[in-house]
């Protein structure tokens, strides 16, 4: 029998008050797709937005969002609840988009570098505020100029405010490797910004 995702039965008030974990638990217990609908309605705009931001195409973002939710639906029983559901979902989103970009391009930046043997000490000289307080229009331009891998790691850190530990889990890298990747992405961002806006600044 096909799962009907287009037939919401649970009332809006109930779905709003239900936590992600409750919805997952009820979906796994009952296989009622309406519980999955709650999660879909809650997170699909953000997932689509992230896909669009990384893949830069509405059609590709649509395909990616669809495949990501199918993956999530099929692997929901594997969600352990150690992290928040949103973190788990966004990690699937980022990994899926990075894989998609990797298939099309060879060089996507720091995420492709297979460097795990960093020293323990990573000295990050660029202040977070320098990047976070960038003018929004310029931020958009610079993020579209830098490699997708660098963009993804900056979005994880500043847009989703993931902890280093979360990013380690998403990228399956050590803490020192992640710190180094963030440092390099920040350097790339600042360098690109200076190249683009050297006359304006």
Partner 1 sequence: MRNSFKELEKEEMQNVSMPSDAIKKGITSDIGILKFVSTIVEMYFPKIADLFVGLSGSDVNTQKSKKPNRYPDLN
Applying CB under 8 A, the residues found at the interface with partner 1 are 1-6, 40, 44-46, 48-49, 52-53, 58, 61-63, 65-67, 69-70, 73-74, 128-129, 132-136, 139-140, 143, 154-155, 158-159
Pick the closer one to partner 1 by CB: 28 or 70: 70
Least Cβ distance, residue 186 to partner 1 (angstroms): 13
Contacts of 155 (CB under 8 A, 6+ apart): 50, 53, 54, 94, 143
Least Cβ distance, residue 90 to partner 1 (angstroms): 12
Pick the closer one to partner 1 by CB: 120 or 133: 133
Pick the closer one to partner 1 by CB: 68 or 176: 68
Question: What DSSP string describes the chain?
Answer: ----TT---S-HHHHHHS-HHHHHHHHHHH--HHHHHHHHHHHHHHHHHHHHHHH--HHHHHHHHHHHHHHHHHHGGG--SSS-HHHHHHHHHHHHHHHHHHHH-S---TTT-------S-----S-HHHHHTS-HHHHHHHHHHS-HHHHHHHIIIIIS---HHHHHHHHT--HHHHHHHHHHHHHHHHHHHHHHSTTT-
Pick the closer one to partner 1 by CB: 115 or 139: 139
Pick the closer one to partner 1 by CB: 49 or 169: 49
Least Cβ distance, residue 62 to partner 1 (angstroms): 6
Least Cβ distance, residue 82 to partner 1 (angstroms): 25
Task: Give the span between the Cα atoms of 151 and 102, in whole angstroms.
Answer: 14
Contacts of 154 (CB under 8 A, 6+ apart): 131, 143, 146, 182, 185, 186, 189
Pick the closer one to partner 1 by CB: 112 or 139: 139
Least Cβ distance, residue 106 to partner 1 (angstroms): 27
Least Cβ distance, residue 92 to partner 1 (angstroms): 14
């Amino acid at each position: 029998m096909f799962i009907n995702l287009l037939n919401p039965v649970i009332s809006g008030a109930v779905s709003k008050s239900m936590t992600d974990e409750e919805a997952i638990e009820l979906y796994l217990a009952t296989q009622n797709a309406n519980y999955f609908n709650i999660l879909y309605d809650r997170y699909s705009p953000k997932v689509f937005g992230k896909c669009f931001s990384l893949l830069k195409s509405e059609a590709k973002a649509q395909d990616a969002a669809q495949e990501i939710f199918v993956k999530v639906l099929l692997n929901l029983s594997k969600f352990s609840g150690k992290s928040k559901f949103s973190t788990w979902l966004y990690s699937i989103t980022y990994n899926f988009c990075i894989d998609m970009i990797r298939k099309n391009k060879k060089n996507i930046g720091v995420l492709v570098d297979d460097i795990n043997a960093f020293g323990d000490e990573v000295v990050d000289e660029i202040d977070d505020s320098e990047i976070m307080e960038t003018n929004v229009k310029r931020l958009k331009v610079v993020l579209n100029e830098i490699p997708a891998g660098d963009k993804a790691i900056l979005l994880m850190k500043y847009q989703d405010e993931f902890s280093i530990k979360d990013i380690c889990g998403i990228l399956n890298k050590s803490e020192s490797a992640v710190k180094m990747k963030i440092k390099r992405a920040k350097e790339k961002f600042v360098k690109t910004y200076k190249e683009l806006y050297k006359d304006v600044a």
